[in-house]
Structure 1
């Protein structure tokens, strides 16, 4: 073991600072053989075998995804507060006998999360590289807990806006931390399920927010909105208590030259008796290859020729989530009220809407094991485009306001749309951004993708209140034409640009992208 550790240390030194060494060729040959053996073992590993061998990796990956649950909870909570009577009365104004929150204030408050993602995404990548996934996660959670105080004690729209903007800066980091960590602690057999679990965390955050609001919205005091804000402290407490026991990412540790710590982390992630040396060899060999390919580690490197295509795919699959209409999730209760449903039925349908998404993510795990990422993504996106257009067509039927059956039909179609989203482009997005990015710039590639999609989220957060509010355009379900058309255009891009990454190690993907393998050839491409 002494010789092996010395070789690991030497190779790690070569990767981290680029200085040549006499032993480099010998080391590469030794670990190249180990990496090939480990690659073959991972290709042959089944999902069940992966679960038995790496139960701790599954648990800690799910733990780090709690941050995305908080990220989803906040905007979903805010969107449903617009339909809460006590919140409307305390923060809104009278319009035709009812209290409503004006479209400009809805726009401003809705900016907190996406604007925070733009800024927070870029800044989060630096501490992720400097201090690791674990310390960055803990720091962001602690800051989130502090900013919740502003939301909890807010009694005016300006104060609430300040809380949303400050909170959004930190919440924007969690969608980067979770898929980065999940992709670095598990074998190929588990990678699709664990990275897609990030999307399930989003759905759970939205579902819990709707459930909490459905209960507190009946209150006639400030607790109708203060209690939901306070509920966010639950995750802060759970994460800060459990985080000291979490292992750091072995990929990050290896890149920092901390090979012994990487071995300890791999040992904590695997079951007792699992030989972690081959996995460590894959990590080192992939790092060596990416150093030779000059993938780099800065934001500018994500746009170098070697990484440009990978960054485009990451940005594309993430941005399409917004182009498809996912930002409407935060306005489902309000949308249903405008469509003609009662306050209580609107909240009930919102919970059912997200429950359909929850089932959709679980269904995606079955699909990810059996089918490729590309097929699932494109099939789901096509179905979503059709459903959105149908929602728009229903809204054009005559005598709409006196036919409640149309509103229920639209509500049902939106539930089906959310199911399709959450078995396809929702979870598969997080799988793809984790798989197509080079390991040395993974956090920064995901940050770029997060920031770009957040810019589109800002646009939709500005537009949607003006599109659906009764004191503005009041287009109701006709918004389906808009998002249905954008989904159709997105499908054209994904058909020509989205490669199949299922079953590939990070080293294999590095090689395929460096060789410029065509999109259609990814699935059957063989590496000698």
Structure 2
């Protein structure tokens, strides 16, 4: 009996185990089914959100995302501080009071001039500091987010202005510029990335191009201030323009403290509920579903999934190497295709034979025309591709730069001097109309979402690496105590601009109207640059 009972108990236990296994298997199948259904639903949400962005016009996107436009405006305003100081130190070199205090006697004319080595050093110091700043910006932003990284930069900027204000020697001005450059690096690395991430597809170009507008506005403010003070003697002629830098950081600190974080950054850091709230602050709730937008973002980020924290080494591996090269090339090209003449406009006009007052007035006019050109460029990028605008804009400036060289090579009459000044003005304005603003759109669109803070940082580093020797070269070519080439430097910059045009023709892809998912897929598939425009990517494709 005992044996039969044990046998029956054993069979009962086996039946229970088999039943439990059956229930577990059924539950597992149900869980897998539910997971698959959830994934399908999430992908459908992601596709819906992406299709909605594709279907929007520019005006519909602006109406749907009014606060995103506002916060892009606020973040871009940080660039005005770099622009202001870059043009300020460039104008100080041509400012009589600054020349009298810190210059040397030019034996040929008997006038005071800033020595070529110090002219180059002062203009290079801020860029050297910014070069360090952009390498700080990438890890800082990756860890803390765009808002807090920028707030740290603004706090530092407030402090470093004191150093410049109380500087009383050229070495002190050099140190002050170096220190101010550190937060510049943070601003310039973060602004295009943040702006491109908080707006929908149709607004990426206008939101990033506004950076060039604030660059122009910074130069307008400097032009107006130095135009007023260029006739004054004494330290106030340059101390007051320095002190005016304090009007920017504090209001921006208050606004950025209140700003929403980039939802893309939040999704990258697994903070999806916060990302939804951020989207709801950026857009009208009636115009979109924030959960669908987060699903779209997660879909793109999943394509770039990695267990490692983002690091600089990744920028030089696989398809990211190509993307890094494009961003670095576009940034570097800004210095080689006319930007140096734009940044040294007043000094260039003086060396072209204009009087001091007229040179400052012409510099102010140039800055105002640049601002108008940037605004007009928004319409240009709405209807034409980034690649098209960059190639045609750079091509036109090559011709104008060569024309400057020709005007400087003929017998120097008043007409030849005015011709150099006019061609220089055209280069500066057309650069702000075409190549410069579209560069920001390219920079914002090219980098992978996961690596964006690092890519924009190292891209801007390439800008400074090229700019620093170009400043020395440009100052040496223009300075009477250097090569004294005057407008003949147009031949040099025309040659470098031609090099940029050739490289862009073969390697710059067209990304107008593309979602970040489509851009990711095309880079992964190694689509040639000139075939990007015609490549079709289905809404359901993930690789």
User: What SS is found at the alignment partner of 1:57?
Assistant: helix
Largest Rg, 1 or 2: 2
**Equivalent of residue 273 in structure 2, options 260, 266, 269:** 260
Match of 1:339 among 352, 357, 363: 352
How do residues 218-297 of structure 1 correspond to structure 2 at under 5 angstroms? Answer: 218-274=231-287, 275-291=289-305, 297=310
Give the conservation status (yes or no) of the 8 Å contact 2:338–2:428.
no
1:64 alignment partner in structure 2: 75
Query: What is the rounded CA distance, in whole Å, between the counterparts of 1:25 and 1:119 in structure 2?
Result: 47
> How many Å apart are 1:295 and its aligned residue?
9.9
Normalising by structure 2, we get a TM-score of 0.90
Contact residue 392 and residue 478 of structure 1 kept, 8 A: yes
Match of 2:499 in 1: 489
Q: Is the 8 A contact 2:338 2:493 kept in 1?
A: yes
- In the other structure, the counterpart of 1:35 is 46
2:444 to 407, 431, 434: 434
Q: Post-superposition shift, 1:241?
A: 2.2
Task: Give the count of matched residue pairs.
Answer: 504
d(CA) in 2 for partners of 1:411 and 1:495? 30
Check whether the contact 2:319–2:526 (CA below 8 A) recurs between aligned residues.
Answer: no
Structure-to-structure mapping, 1:176-187, within 5 angstroms: 176-187=189-200
Find the counterpart in structure 1 of residue 161 from structure 2.
148
Partners of 2:168 and 2:115 in 1: CA distance? 16
Please give the alpha-carbon distance, in whole angstroms, between the structure 2 residues aligned to 1:195 and 1:66.
11
Secondary structure of residue in 1 paired with 2:78: helix
The answer as to whether partners of 1:182 and 1:191 remain within 8 angstroms in 2 is yes
Residue 123 of structure 1 is aligned with which of 111, 136, 140?
Answer: 136
The structure-2 alpha-carbon separation of the partners of 1:101 and 1:271, relative to structure 1 and needing over 3 Å to count, comes to same
Q: Is 1:112–1:167's contact at 8 Å kept on the other side of the alignment?
A: no
Task: Indicate how the Cα distance of structure 1 residues 111 and 27 shifts in structure 2: closer, same or farther if over 3 A, else same.
Answer: farther
Question: What's the offset of the Cα at 1:429?
Answer: 1.0
Q: CA deviation at 1:29?
A: 2.3
**Helix, strand or coil at the partner of 2:248:** helix
Distance in 1, matches of 2:35 and 2:345, equals 58
Out of 203, 207, 230, the position equivalent to 1:194 is 207
SS in structure 2 of the partner of residue 173 of structure 1: helix
> What residue ranges of structure 1 are gaps of 5+ in the alignment?
1-20
Give the whole-Å Cα distance in 2 for the aligned partners of 1:41 and 1:263: 17
Contact 1:113-1:172 within 8 A present in 2 as well? no
Partner of 1:7: none
1:81 pairs with 2:95: no
Relative to the length of structure 1, the TM-score reads 0.93
Contact 2:405-2:489 within 8 A present in 1 as well: yes
Using the alignment, how far apart are the partners of 1:490 and 1:161 within structure 2?
31
Say if 1:77 and 1:330, in contact at 8 Å, map to a contact too: no
**TM-superposed deviation, 1:277:** 2.1
The Cα RMSD (Å) is 1.6
CA distance in 2, matches of 1:186, 1:486: 34
Return the offset for 1:418. 1.7
